[in-house]
């Protein structure tokens, strides 16, 4: 199956209202994610894109914006209870895409609608996955594990005040709190997803009014409840309550405190979701793979930073890093890490790596940055999101041998692109520091 790209947004109709949706992947089972904030803007974050593409490699994935959010029409003027209205939207989208039966994945405030849909439409629900769900948030005499009403009201007030600001990322996605780009994107996602008033009202109804306890015994679909151990609202006791009262449910507690399973160690959730829905445990990722390794370095970075000053240099590096992320994603690579004044990335083919390197070099020139680039292809070791091995060291040394503005490759890369329209020029033999023997290097003249 080929690489999954961002799908086109289309519309389903519910009465006179339009509901924006996307479909991607061609798997034999349908999986619908209920009510993203904004399905178009969500793709701008590499973490979201990777998570969705991973699901779409196994399932036919269906996404949609609830009315009142994202690209969908405003909420109806005389709405049903929010979870009932949301369930109708879900049914309309499934009808539009020809899905008779689907698994449902819901997080936080979309979980009441998923529970309602599964309980009232059992024939259309093949499985249910609930993330940070609660049947009832607020404490009562017969529900002592609930949170105090004043705490719930303070939570709603906090969302009302901070909606659309990057301060919410630090609170709700602490694993990415130090990433300025992520915080800005998160704030944009919230602003384009819903207005502060709409968001606060929706949360008010969900947190203060919802009581779905009578529906839990009616759920016939197998149910997986996922909950991060350190996520505060709702606390993990609410997840245990769900599992105790849904007939065919099991709980998996995940590490971390993020509100979503997308960003902090997403492979944990992806593996268990795939196994839960298919009955097959995913094959572990290989620990060693053949990859094209790309290193870049900004020429004269120390002198440039001294001349510009810390603030302007940081701004320039931010643009550099964002541009690198975008181009690497466009050319099908993986950004392993930034190195302060450069990047380390991998590609599954040398041609895409070379073309990405040339595009990055040319675009950085437009903002006055010059880089040198080195590429080598070989076996690399996968280490919890990082890569290692001799091939990585060789790529770094090849880069060090490049002149300013050059994209230089090892002979291994040259041999792998024979027959393509990529042209290279022989740069002779070089001794690479710490690497045995002499190495034939080539400069790319026509990417």
Residue 387 shares a structural domain with residue 431? yes
Contact 125, 102 (CB under 8 A): yes
**Mean pLDDT estimate for the chain:** 86
- How confident is the model over 391-432, as pLDDT tens digits? 999 999 999 999 999 999 999 999 888 878 899 999 999 988
In the prediction, which pLDDT does 326 show?
Answer: 92
Rounded Cα distance, 441 and 380, in Å: 20
Q: pLDDT-derived band of residue 362, with 50, 70 and 90 as boundaries?
A: very high
In the prediction, which pLDDT does 4 show?
Answer: 43
Residue in 323, 391, 388 with CA at minimum distance from that of residue 357: 323
Last residue of a domain, one of 225, 247, 278: 278
Q: Taking the model in full, what pTM does it have?
A: 0.65
Q: What is the DSSP letter of 147?
A: B
Query: From the centroid of its chain, how far is CA 427?
Result: 41
Q: Is residue 423 part of a domain?
A: yes
Residue 134 shares a structural domain with residue 274? yes
Q: pLDDT-derived band of residue 316, with 50, 70 and 90 as boundaries?
A: confident
Residue 193 shares a structural domain with residue 329? no
Q: What is the DSSP letter of 55?
A: H
SS3 (DSSP) at 229: coil
Residue in 19, 32, 8, 22 with CA at minimum distance from that of residue 89: 19
Rg (CA), the chain: 25
- How confident is the model over 137-150, as pLDDT tens digits? 888 899 999 888 88
Q: pLDDT-derived band of residue 81, with 50, 70 and 90 as boundaries?
A: low
In the prediction, which pLDDT does 242 show?
Answer: 95
Number of domains in the chain: 2
CATH of the domain at 433: 3.30.70.1230
Portion of the chain with pLDDT greater than 90, in percent: 42
Q: Which phi and psi angles does 138 have, rounded to 5°? A: -85, 140
Q: Is residue 353 part of a domain?
A: yes
Last residue of a domain, one of 278, 306, 333: 278
In the prediction, which pLDDT does 199 show?
Answer: 58
More reliable by pLDDT, 232 or 29: 29
Which residue segment(s) compose the domain that 45 sits in? 10-278
In the prediction, which pLDDT does 206 show?
Answer: 60
Residues in Cβ contact with 443 at an 8 Å cutoff, skipping those fewer than 6 apart: 402, 403, 406, 407, 408, 409, 424, 425, 427
């Amino acid at each position: 199956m080929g690489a999954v790209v961002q799908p086109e947004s289309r519309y389903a109709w519910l009465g006179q209202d339009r509901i924006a949706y996307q479909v991607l992947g061609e798997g034999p089972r349908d999986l619908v994610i209920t009510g993203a904030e904004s399905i178009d803007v969500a793709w701008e974050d590499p973490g979201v894109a990777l998570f969705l593409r991973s699901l779409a490699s196994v399932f036919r994935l269906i996404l949609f914006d609830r009315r009142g959010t994202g690209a969908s029409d405003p909420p109806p003027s005389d709405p049903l209870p929010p979870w009932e209205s949301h369930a109708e939207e879900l049914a309309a989208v499934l009808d539009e895409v020809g899905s008779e039966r689907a698994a449902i994945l819901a997080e936080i405030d979309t979980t009441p609608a998923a529970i309602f849909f599964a309980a009232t439409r059992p024939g259309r629900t093949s499985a249910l996955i609930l993330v940070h769900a609660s049947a009832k948030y607020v404490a009562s005499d017969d529900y002592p594990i609930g949170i105090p009403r004043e705490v719930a009201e303070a939570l709603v007030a906090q969302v009302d005040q901070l909606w659309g600001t990057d301060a919410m990322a630090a609170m709700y996605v602490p694993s990415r709190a130090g990433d300025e780009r992520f915080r800005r994107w998160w704030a944009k996602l919230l602003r384009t997803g819903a207005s502060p008033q709409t968001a606060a009202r929706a949360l008010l109804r969900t947190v203060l009014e919802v009581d779905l306890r009578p529906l839990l015994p009616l759920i016939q679909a197998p149910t997986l409840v996922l909950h991060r151990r350190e996520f505060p609202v709702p606390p993990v006791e609410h997840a245990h309550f769900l599992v105790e009262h849904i007939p065919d449910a099991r709980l998996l507690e995940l590490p971390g405190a993020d509100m979503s399973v997308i960003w902090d160690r997403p492979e944990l959730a992806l593996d268990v979701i795939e196994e839960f829905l298919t009955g097959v445990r995913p094959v572990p990722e290989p620990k060693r793979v053949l990859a094209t390794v790309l290193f870049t370095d900004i020429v004269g970075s120390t002198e440039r930073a001294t001349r510009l000053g810390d603030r302007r240099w940081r701004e320039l590096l931010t643009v550099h890093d964002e541009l690198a992320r975008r181009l690497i994603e466009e050319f099908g690579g993986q950004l392993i890490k930034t190195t302060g004044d450069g990047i380390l990335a991998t590609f599954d083919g040398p041609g895409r790596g070379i073309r990405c390197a040339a595009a990055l070099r040319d675009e950085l020139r437009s903002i006055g940055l010059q880089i040198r680039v080195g590429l080598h292809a070989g076996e690399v070791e996968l280490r919890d999101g990082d890569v290692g091995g001799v091939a990585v060291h060789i790529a770094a040394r090849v880069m060090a041998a490049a002149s300013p503005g050059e994209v230089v490759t090892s002979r291994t890369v040259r041999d792998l692109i024979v027959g393509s329209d990529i042209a290279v020029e022989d740069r002779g033999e070089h001794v690479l520091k710490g690497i045995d023997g002499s190495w034939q290097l080539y400069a790319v003249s026509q990417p």
